[in-house]
Amino acid sequence: MSGAAGRLYLVPNTLDFGVEMAAGEAPDLRELLPMSVLRVAAGLTHWVAENAKSTRAFLKRVDAVVPLSQPLQQLSILELPRPHKGGSRAGPAADLSGLLAPALQGLDLGLISEAGLPAVADPGAALVQAAHAARVPVIALPGANSLVLALAASGLNGQSFAFAGYLPVEASSRAARIRELEASSRRGQQTQLMIETPYRNEALLAALLAHLQPTTRLSVSVGLTLPCGTTRTDSVQAWRAAPGALRADIPAVFAFLAA
């Protein structure tokens, strides 16, 4: 084992994961990420990923701007253990110390999600925790995060906010959870943020419109950072009068603030 530990870099991915794009249509990564991030990413030889395939696609886009320090085929890309259903915990600690091994041997290691920042509304926090426990320095690199962009664009309270993960899928539990979050929002004038898998965007919007108070302000951001991106903020009453339609193929972020 060489002396100092390597660093664990949290590398932001773009927010266009899963968006249908014609070949060659994906924008130059310099448009979406700072050069310092691309340079660090191009230099890393060991990766831990939410998904190896999307990581290779990301690294091809990096390589088009800053040549990778080693050919893509020679990079080590290991996947995070799948999170337990509905839980925030990753698999057993043993797996994680294996993933962390390169850093313990003095090599810098990248952690990357399919979209956005790792470990925020995404897997990876357990690996970061293991890194701190092993005294591996952790460096989060700047990039787009859909929750915080949606919050900024909402015009709702940015001085007090909370994200509570996915809502329950079952209708009555979901309704109860929405009412509970609205009560929290009212008590602390706290903006509540939530996300859903895109094909359930419409169902979540319908549930919010059914269960929130008419005067609660609801904001829906769709396709953040994409050319088609929009944000609408209106009272629940105004949404009910003209609900519009949500695309089922691109991610949305929902935010509300009780009056």
Q: What residues form DSSP beta bridges with 189?
A: none
CB of 3 to a second copy, least distance (A): 19
> Whose CA is closest to 189, among 257, 109, 122, 102?
257
Size of the site for a second copy (CB under 8 A): 67
Q: How many whole angstroms separate alpha carbon 217 and alpha carbon 237?
A: 9
Interface positions, 220-259, toward a second copy (CB under 8 A): 221, 224-225, 229-234
The reply to whether 43 sits near a second copy by the rule CB under 8 A is no
In this complex, which beta carbon is closest to a second copy, that of residue 71 or of residue 187?
187
Question: Measured from the CB atom, is 36 or 70 closer to a second copy?
Answer: 36
30 lies in the site for a second copy, by CB under 8 A: yes
Q: Which is nearer to a second copy, 75 or 131 (CB)?
A: 131
- Is 150 among the residues that bind a second copy (CB under 8 A)? yes
145 is an interface residue for a second copy by CB under 8 A: yes
Burial class, 200, CB count within 10 angstroms (exposed 0-12 / middle 13-18 / buried 19+): middle
16 contributes a contact to a second copy by CB under 8 A: no
- Beta-bridged to residue 138, according to DSSP, are 8
* Least distance to a second copy, CB of residue 223, Å: 11
Alpha-carbon distances of 28 from 38, 61, 63, 68, 110, rounded to whole Å: 11, 7, 11, 15, 21
Amino acid identity for residue 54 in this structure: S
Window 114-143: contact mask with a second copy (x via CB under 8 A): ---xxxxxx-xxxxxxxxx----xxxx-xx
- Work out how close the CB of 76 gets to a second copy at its nearest, in angstroms, rounded to a whole number: 22
List the structure tokens of 55: 């990581």
| Closest CB 230 distance from a second copy, rounded Å | 7
DSSP H helices, 52-170, are 52-63, 93-104, 125-133, 146-154
Q: Which helix (H) or strand (E) holds 233?
A: strand 230-235
The token pair that represents 115 in the structure block: 């979209």
- Go through 176-191 and write b for each residue having 16 or more CB atoms within 10 A of its CB, e for each that does not: ebbeebbeebeeeebb
Judged by CB under 8 A, which stretch of 17-25, 54-62, 157-165, 198-206 contacts a second copy?
157-165
Q: Which helix (H) or strand (E) holds 241?
A: helix 236-241
Cα Rg of the chain, angstroms: 20
Q: Is 64 in the site for a second copy (CB under 8 A)?
A: no
Q: State in angstroms the smallest separation of the CB of 71 from a second copy.
A: 26
* Interface with a second copy, residue 88, by CB under 8 A: yes
Q: Which residues bind a second copy (CB under 8 A)?
A: 10, 15, 27-28, 30-36, 88, 117-122, 124-132, 137-140, 142-145, 147-165, 188-190, 219, 221, 224-225, 229-234
